[in-house]
Amino acid sequence: MPQNKLIEDFRKLQSLLDSGENFIAFDTETTGLSSSKDRVIEIGAVKFNKDGIKDKFETLINPQKPISAECTQINHITNEMIKDAPLAKDALVLFVDFIKDGILVAHNANFDLNFINAELERAKLPALKNKAIDTLNFVRWAYPLLGKYNLQLMAKLMDIEVTEAHRAYDDARVCMEVFNKTLSDTKSIQITK
């Protein structure tokens, strides 16, 4: 599997945003934790830049295998919901077109990137080459004394409304808001040239 291209110099994020780059906060819901054995069942994304939200993307995916009760308990996605959903290859073609060459933003980014790339490989499509920002690492850097950094906790601490935790689109929107709030909180140490 290809190496993910994570941006690690968090002091340069404001200048990237100011440059007009498109950012795409995204999230996946999956049938388990192993990108080699489990499958993506939902992708949600929100495209934004310095002017705000530009577009959104969300789709369920039929993994061509049953979703376990444990999985459904976490993300509330049922076998009934995905039975007529597009297959991974069809959904991924649309997702790749949506993100184009934008900078990806995800909480625990390697997890989501590895799942997307595993699905792309199964579909015999090229791996993602986009640069990415891991908001988990970003908030650890910005708030080193917190100790816990999961997305729902960060949303609570930042007073960000969560409407459907563990559903891909809402988690992607929350991720975007965590990114923006963390960027605002670190403005004094951002390199803006």
The three-class DSSP label of residue 22 is coil
If we measure between CA atoms, which residue out of 116, 5, 131, 128 comes closest to residue 61?
116
Backbone angles phi and psi of 133, in degrees to 5: -120, 130
pLDDT at 3: 82
Where do the DSSP E strands lie in 126-189? 131-134
The model's pTM is 0.96
Burial of 71: CB neighbours in 10 Å, binned 0-12, 13-18, 19+: buried
Sites in the chain below the pLDDT cut of 70 = 1-2, 193
H-helix or E-strand spanning residue 153: helix 151-157
pLDDT at 1: 57
**Quick one: three-class SS letters along 68-131?**
CHHHHHHHCCCHHHHCCCCEHHHHHHHHHHHHCCCEEEECCHHHHHHHHHHHHHHCCCCCCCCE
Point out the residues that are catalytic.
Answer: 166
